[in-house]
């Protein structure tokens, strides 16, 4: 099975080319990190994978679990196991996480022709996962992301990920706006969740995040292309001398 294969992908927004013949392959169980300066197209990649309709795919192919991903809309992609941990999770006032995530997980179960979870068993699952991540019951009572600190929002994203159990998670600059403590808590959550079946694409500007999560591959991206791929040593090199060598 091809897990994820991005082949010669060209993407533009309002006529401006952002991804330029972009190629990347990720196998099951792998952790990939993409680093690059601002404006290199990292966040565009994350959003195009999630199906955001603001971007125009001009040519190229994305295969995910042997399916043509570009033929699916946002929710269909979510239902087959793509999860995007947002850089800036949006506030949804008045909406509690319990009914929200229950609808979310049931959309996925329905897609897999599995029985849906009732409110009681879902609440139990949510409570367990929250406890694992050190999220107290008070936080579960609040409206989604509303009035949360940057760190709380990111922890909420990790909680949602662990409940929905996606096979492929994209972290879009998850480290932005986090202090060291919050970063540690978030990355611990990711490490706890990681196993042989799920894969990750970690998009980051700084190497800091990679001190906590050990990626299998590091890619350097600039002007909509991957310029160099390697292991963690590549990240160390960037930390030392910046992006000017690429």
Partner 1 sequence: MNIETTQTLDKYAQDKYKYGFVTNIVSDRPKKGLDEEIIKFISQKKNEPDWMLTWRLDCYKKWLKMSDPQWANLKFPEINYQDIYYYSAPKGFENKPKDLSEVDPKLIETYNKLGIPLEEQKVLAGVAVDAVFDSVSVATTYKGELEKLGIVFCSISEAVQTHPELVKKYLGSVIPPGDHSFSALNSAVFTDGSFVYIPENVKCPMELSTYFRINAEETGQFERTLIIADKGSYVSYLEGCTAPQRDTNQLHAANVELIALDNAEIKYSTVQNWYPGDEEGKGGIYNFVTKRGLCKGINSKISWTQVETGSSITWKYPSCILKGDNSIGEFYSVAITNNYQQADTGTKMTHIGKNTRSKIISKGISLGNSQNTYRGNVSFLRKANKSRNYTQCDSLLVGNKCGAHTIPYIESKNNTAVVEHEASTSKINEEQLYYCRQRGLSHEEAVSLIVNGFCKQVLQELPMEFAVEAQKLVAISLEGSVG
Summarize as ranges the residues that interact with partner 1 (CB under 8 A): 50-54, 73-75, 78-79, 83-84, 86, 89-90, 92-95, 99-101, 103-105, 107-108, 111, 143, 160, 164
- Are the CB atoms for 137 and 123 separated by under 8 Å? no
Compute the least distance from the CB of residue 164 to partner 1, in Å: 7
Report CA dihedral (2, 80, 40, 243) to the nearest 10 degrees.
Answer: -60
Shortest Cβ 135–partner 1 spacing (Å): 17
| Closest separation in Å from C-beta 88 to partner 1 | 8
- DSSP string spanning 170-239? EEESTTTT--HHHHHHHHHHHHHH--SS-EEEEEESSSGGGGTS--SEEEEEETTEEEEEESHHHHHHHH
1 CB-near residues (< 8 Å, 6+ apart): 28, 65, 66
Nearer to partner 1, 3 or 100 (CB): 100
Shortest Cβ distance from residue 161 to partner 1 (Å)?
Answer: 10
Cα dihedral 83, 87, 92, 97, rounded to 10, equals 50
Asked if 45 and 22 touch (Cβ cutoff 8 Å), the reply is yes
User: Quick check: 172 and 108 in contact, CB under 8 A?
Assistant: no
Shorter beta-carbon distance to partner 1: residue 26 or 101: 101
What token pair was written down for 72? 């699916």
Query: Residue 93 CB, nearest distance to partner 1 (Å)?
Result: 6
Q: Please, which residue, 107 or 223, has the CB nearer to partner 1? A: 107
* Identity of the residue, 51 or 215, whose beta carbon is nearer to partner 1 in the bound complex: 51
- Distance (Å, rounded) from C-alpha 27 to C-alpha 237? 25
Minimum distance of partner 1 from residue 216's CB (angstroms): 25
State which residue, 73 or 149, has the beta carbon closest to partner 1: 73
Q: Which is nearer to partner 1, 7 or 111 (CB)?
A: 111
């Amino acid at each position: 099975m091809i897990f994820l294969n991005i082949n010669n992908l060209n993407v533009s927004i309002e006529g401006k080319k952002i991804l330029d013949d972009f190629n990347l392959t990720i196998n099951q169980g792998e952790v990939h990190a993409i680093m690059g300066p601002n404006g290199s197209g990292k966040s565009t990649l994350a959003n195009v994978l999630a199906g955001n309709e603001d971007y125009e795919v001009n040519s190229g192919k994305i295969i995910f679990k042997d399916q043509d991903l570009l033929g699916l809309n946002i929710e269909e992609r979510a239902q087959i196991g793509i999860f995007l941990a947002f850089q800036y999770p949006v506030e949804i006032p008045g909406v509690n996480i319990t009914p929200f995530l229950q609808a979310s997980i049931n959309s996925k179960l329905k897609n897999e022709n599995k029985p849906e979870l009732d409110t009681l068993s879902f609440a139990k699952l949510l409570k367990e996962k929250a406890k694992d991540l050190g999220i107290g019951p008070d936080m579960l009572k609040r409206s989604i992301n509303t009035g949360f600190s940057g760190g709380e929002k990111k922890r909420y994203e990790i909680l949602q990920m662990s409940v929905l159990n996606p096979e492929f998670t994209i972290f879009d600059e998850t480290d932005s706006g986090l202090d060291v403590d919050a970063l540690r808590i978030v990355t611990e959550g990711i490490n706890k969740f990681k196993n042989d079946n799920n894969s990750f694409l970690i998009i980051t500007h700084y190497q800091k995040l990679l001190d906590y999560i050990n990626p299998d591959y590091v890619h350097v991206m600039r002007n909509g292309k991957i310029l160099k791929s390697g292991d963690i040593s590549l990240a160390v090199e960037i930390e030392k001398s910046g992006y000017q060598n690429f």
